[in-house]
Amino acid sequence: MPDPVWQTLAKMPYAFGGPAGSGVIRSTPDDFQVDEDLGFEPDGEGEHVLLHLRKRQTNTIWLAAQIARLAAVPKRDVSYAGLKDRHAVTSQWFSVRLAGQPEPDWRELVSAQIELLRAERHRRKLRPGALRGNRFRLLIRELNADSGVLEQRLQQIRQTGMPNYFGEQRFGHGYGNLEQAGALFERRPGRIDRKLRGLLISAARSQLFNTVLVARISQGSWGEPISGDYMNLAGTRSGFAIEQVDGEIQRRCLEMDIHPTGPLWGRGRPPVTGAALALEQVALEPYDSFRNGLEHVGLEQERRPLRIVISDLCWSFTDGQNLLLEFSLPAGSYATVLLRELITVDDTGLK
């Protein structure tokens, strides 16, 4: 059984004082639009085909199965970088391994819900997380908030970034993935398939990260370096450890060139020392069973930035009651985390 002290995202602290009002999202699928940015172009040759599809109110896993059926290949030969919300309009990439098989007419996928944008050959399989990020266009209706307060909040987020919490989607309904992760780590009887096992491990890892981020927000240092931090180089997976915070480190952090990080737990020594290590040890002390479990499944220690920069964040108020947001996020970050810093959301599309 997981430790009975999990804090849900809804109860975790805000960086900017809490919601400034309320609003409704996903009144229609068109109100929530997401476009994947692969960050690279297809090779033009190879045994895989990269399909770029725009889907409306369509489940990613269901669509992958339709692609496999059309191509007459096993479902395992169809892959994608990440799941996309069914209650939205999203453009998404899929890869299909044909390996000598004839290429079907991909136009047979087209329907009122599916649009074929591109089909290009590629040498490699598209793997989970293998994209630069996502571009969002969100319309919030029935806005009940002071537009001046929201304008100030949006300016703050554009200038200072926002906390890089993992969103609630990561944890399953009612945070049930964490309970199942506890059963997995305690080796309780029950068969768990490989895909579900990966989801449970990711949920446990994500909750530990969020717990450390809570401590940094409470301390006021989620966007600032502290002694012993491990700093991420913006836009990369690289970083470096610092012993003390000097003027140069402060300047680079203020300019969004580097970001403080939190743990993605696994085997090995954390790369932090001093005040950063002490804070993480205190925050994670109650979760010894989850840390041990993550180490025993073979994961290595990694780091994730504590904040996200949203330099292209744009907004406009329309019809006096609506707010249109446009922005990009790196892979693995959540639009719902941005929304929670702005308003209390009525997510009509999920009812």
- Residues catalogued as catalytic: 85
Q: How far apart are CA 178 and CA 180, in angstroms?
A: 5
Q: Which two tokens stand for residue 80?
A: 């994608």
Please answer whether residues 65 and 26 qualify as being in contact, where contact means their C-beta atoms are separated by less than 8 angstroms.
no
* The token pair that represents 267 in the structure block: 């085997």
Q: Hey, is 330 helix, strand or coil?
A: strand
- As a whole number of Å, the CA-based R_g of the chain is 21
**Backbone torsions φ then ψ of 345, nearest 5 degrees:** -100, 130
Task: Provide CB contacts within 8 A for 258, sequence distance 6+.
Answer: 225, 231, 232, 233, 234, 239, 249, 252
User: Which amino acid is present at 159?
Assistant: Q
Q: Strand pairing of 239-241 and 230-233?
A: antiparallel
Angstrom distance (rounded) from CA 80 to CA 128:
6
Give the other-Cβ count within 10 Å of 138's Cβ: 21
